[in-house]
Amino acid sequence: MTHTTSWPRTVTTAERRSRLAHRHLLLPETRTDDVVAISDALLALHSSDPATVHLSTWARMAHPSLTATDHVLYQDRSLIRHHVMRRTLWVASRPVMELMNATSGRRVAAAEHRKTLKMLAHTGMSDVDTWYDQATEQILGLFGPAEQLSTREIGKALPELSFPVETTPGNPKTAVVSAHSRLVVDLGFAGRLIRTHPGGAWNNSAYLWSATATWLGHDLPELDVDDSAASLVDRWLHQFGPGTTTDLQWWFGWTRTQTRAALAAAEAVPVDLEDSPEPGWLAADDPGVDETPPWVAVLPSLDATTMGWKQRDWYLPSGAGEAFDRFGNAGATLWVDGRVVGAWTQDKAGELHHLWFEEVPAARRRQVEQRLDEVRDWLGDTVVTERFPGLSRATMLTR
């Protein structure tokens, strides 16, 4: 009897870049006005910087529209905003957010709850658990007659909860916040309250709050953690694969053990990566992709494509590290054919600036600059201040 060994195939860097273009809807022919489809193509949209959600959808829409994005967030409510992986605020479709909440959100909420109790205990409060439970009921009780409230409105309605607490008790450099505002955020982590409309313009992060059951029609379900993790890994591999175990562990904020178990449960297929000494993984039924025509993209800070992998050398040329801050958060980037070739920013007057990390042919530069003109026209008088600008922003504004 002859035995044959099935060796993992090698996925080339060119193939990875083609997958990125097709699956993240960055080719002109893949653009769509289905905002939920855009979110699902990226699994979720970063929302730590409120402008990212709208600029990420702009980059992938056939007919970019603030109204269309706002509709699925605040009218149809098929996209929801919640803290999950890596204690980061995300926007995702309901099915995806439910999986993320099961695998990451509940753990993040438990850690934040412990922090809140520690803040309260530092004030000298004798029975923090009882106070917390009673204060929670008071806050949630406000949402019977009112569907949405701001943090300030909650504090004015419940002034007895508005005493100061230290965010890092005992630290000389601690910040001080109102107890009611910390509790509101805590209830957001726990999924009992949900962020709704911004209190001002679309790029404002002072969101109104609603009881989750009121806003969605139900609470976030208590899904099985292991089943949810396997489902999320499968979804990630279909949109971001191939990726390494390190990529997956970082993206989800899981332990190595949990990541490996989820890969096994998802029946992920091992592959060799041309650009990495660490093996990669593909979804079990990955259909592959065709080669891509030339393409360009202008992406905002914290865009899920730029932030999608921990090991980024395969789409970052030398010098492109300046697109990130010292913590690895991505600033606004310029892309040509699956590589970050430059960065862009907006000054306080609304003017756009950009720089190149490497030589780019004149014809491709003009394509990128045309997309920048489209961003400028779409923004109009709106000035977006990046909360996590790359290191290159200072260079762009002073050269």
CA atoms within 13 A on the CB side of 399: 10
**Chain segment 125-159, per-residue pLDDT in tens:** 989 999 999 999 999 999 987 789 999 999 999 99
Query: Cβ(72)–Cβ(88) under 8 Å?
Result: no
Query: Cβ(30)–Cβ(22) under 8 Å?
Result: yes
Last residue of a domain, one of 159, 182, 216: 216
Could you tell me the sign of the dihedral formed by the alpha carbons of 347, 319, 241, 96, in that order? negative
Model pLDDT, residue 2: 42
**Chain segment 173-229, per-residue pLDDT in tens:** 899 999 999 999 999 999 999 999 998 889 888 999 999 999 999 999 999 999 999
How many domains, in total, are found in the chain?
2
**Chain segment 244-288, per-residue pLDDT in tens:** 999 999 999 999 999 999 999 999 999 999 989 999 999 999 988
Determine, yes or no, domain membership for 369.
yes
**Chain segment 342-397, per-residue pLDDT in tens:** 999 999 999 999 999 999 999 999 999 999 999 999 999 999 988 889 999 988 98
Model pLDDT, residue 6: 53
Determine, yes or no, domain membership for 352.
yes
Last residue of a domain, one of 185, 216, 247: 216
The span from the CA of 302 to the CA of 186, in Å, is 24
Query: Cβ(92)–Cβ(100) under 8 Å?
Result: yes
The span from the CA of 118 to the CA of 167, in Å, is 9
Last residue of a domain, one of 216, 232, 265: 216
Query: Measured between alpha carbons, how far is residue 383 from residues 47, 84, 198, 329 in Å?
Result: 17, 28, 16, 20
Query: Cβ(120)–Cβ(165) under 8 Å?
Result: yes
Tokens representing 305?
Answer: 């494509």
In which domain, by residue range, is 102 found? 93-216
The span from the CA of 64 to the CA of 72, in Å, is 14
Burial class (CB in 10 A: 0-12, 13-18, 19+), 6: exposed
Which pLDDT band, with edges at 50, 70 and 90, does 305 fall under?
Answer: very high
Determine, yes or no, domain membership for 321.
yes
Which pLDDT band, with edges at 50, 70 and 90, does 330 fall under?
Answer: very high
Helix (H) or strand (E) holding 195: strand 193-198
